[in-house]
Amino acid sequence: MDKNILQVAVIGGGAAGFFAAISAKTHHPEAKVTIYEKSNKLLSKVRISGGGRCNVTHHCFDIRELVKFYPRGERPLKKAFGRFSPTDTIAWFEKRGVKLKTESDGRMFPTTDNSQTIIDCLMKETQQLGIGIKTKTNIKKLKKTEGGYELSLDRGGRLHADKVVVATGGSPRPNGFDWLRELDHEIEEPVPSLFTFNMPDEPIKKLMGIAADPVSVKIMGSKLQSNGPLLITHWGMSGPAILKLSAFGARELNEKNYDFKVLVNWAGEKTEQEIRAILKEVAGEYGMKMIHNVNPFGLPGRLWEFLIGKLELGDAMIWQNMGKKNLNRLVHLLTNDEYQVQGKTTFKEEFVTCGGVSLQDVDMKTMQSRKSPNLYFAGEVLDIDGVTGGFNFQAAWTTGYIAGQLA
């Protein structure tokens, strides 16, 4: 090994590791850059991401707005996005022949609708730059040495690197971070994010497949609240409104052992007063019609019938006979419809871990550890995670780019 050549080791062959390695070699062509991946597969999450289409980033170019999609990392990411933002991601891929398109909800995918396009682009770039790749190489320990780091392999043997980028992804097991704790890094306990709610005892499950949009959902006894589409599934509730709650409430809901009540406002952000006023108007205009035949909030018909059924007014009840008491019950039902959650199901499209290396220990302008010089972090190993929509990859591209540039 030539001692005069700067050795950069990137641990982890996922999105963040590849971007870090490419950035390191692009900014420091004289360095020897090597990716060490423990499995025999590279970029495996990129392959399965976005249902095989890879939701690369999000069509959001205002950094102040962008950071709001990150339950963990919101403020610290401002600095990092200032250096590499979704605009840079789009330009980076486009420069290498990969065009991205935007869907109506802002998610951005390659125009091929195939994650292989992203993998091919990253693989080609690493080959062209002469980046080394070693698979089946599990780094189990890092030790600070005078000139850098000694990397211990789990199958025995040691490697030297002057600079190290750790891009090992999230770990659901707290002891998965022990080797980083040994270097004095604070680890925020990992818990799942982006999951759906199980409601084993709730009859609403019989409406599986029905979606309502927009609804407003609150967790009872907490400040957690979100708006957006809600999907009823055969095990409970899912959809963007639920996933957002699961991400922003990842830690709180874990503490509740996933046993809590949700309150649904089926009329979105409308207040009780607004709903009451609309219902009174309906009762005046359609007084002789049966309640289940007039659906003032445009809810799916089967859902409206289900909700009305909960009031047990009888099928023949007409609007003008409802009376004040029942009108109040209907207002309450529409705005505070209560469901018991018991358990969670991991959202198969885009599962991420909340927790990881504490951002207190990382300089977000450089991604360098504050505890251990010449050690950098990128991607989901950090205590950063976003909601669904391409935000998690954007964090991986951004932190990988910066770590590689400055390593």
Residues engaged in binding ligand FAD (CB under 6 A)? 11-17, 36-39, 44-45, 48-50, 54-55, 138-139, 167-169, 349-352, 379-380, 390-393, 396
Return the SS3 of 364.
coil
Tell me how far apart the alpha carbons of residues 230 and 350 are, in angstroms, rounded to a whole number. 17
Of 45 and 163, CB closest to ligand FAD? 45
β-sheet with 7-11: strand ranges across: 132-134, 32-36, 7-11, 163-166, 375-377, 368-369, 362-363
Of 17 and 266, CB closest to ligand FAD? 17
Backbone angles phi, psi at 54, to 5 degrees: 60, 100
Nearest distance, CB of residue 192 and ligand FAD, angstroms: 11
Tokens of 395: 């964090």
The strand pairing partners of 226, in sequence order, are 217
Of 37 and 383, CB closest to ligand FAD? 37
Nearest distance, CB of residue 304 and ligand FAD, angstroms: 34
Of 83 and 289, CB closest to ligand FAD? 83
Q: How far is CA 107 from CA 63, 70, 115, in A?
A: 16, 15, 14
Of 219 and 407, CB closest to ligand FAD? 407
Nearest distance, CB of residue 20 and ligand FAD, angstroms: 9
Nearest distance, CB of residue 77 and ligand FAD, angstroms: 14
Q: What stretches of 269-357 adopt beta strand conformation (E)?
A: 337-342, 344-346, 352-357
> Which residue stretches of 3-62 are H helix?
15-27, 44-52
Nearest distance, CB of residue 137 and ligand FAD, angstroms: 6
Q: Around Cβ 259, how many Cβ atoms within 10 Å?
A: 10
Nearest distance, CB of residue 114 and ligand FAD, angstroms: 12
Q: Sort 188 into a burial class: Cβ within 10 Å, 0-12 / 13-18 / 19+.
A: middle
Nearest distance, CB of residue 201 and ligand FAD, angstroms: 29
Of 100 and 334, CB closest to ligand FAD? 100
Residue with tokens 């890092």: 142
* b/e code 323-358 from CB counts within 10 Å (16+ = b): eeeeeebbbebbbebebbbeebeebeebbbbbbbbe
Of 267 and 403, CB closest to ligand FAD? 403
Q: How far is CA 88 from CA 47, 57, 58, 185, 401, in A?
A: 22, 10, 12, 30, 10
Of 50 and 249, CB closest to ligand FAD? 50
Nearest distance, CB of residue 110 and ligand FAD, angstroms: 11
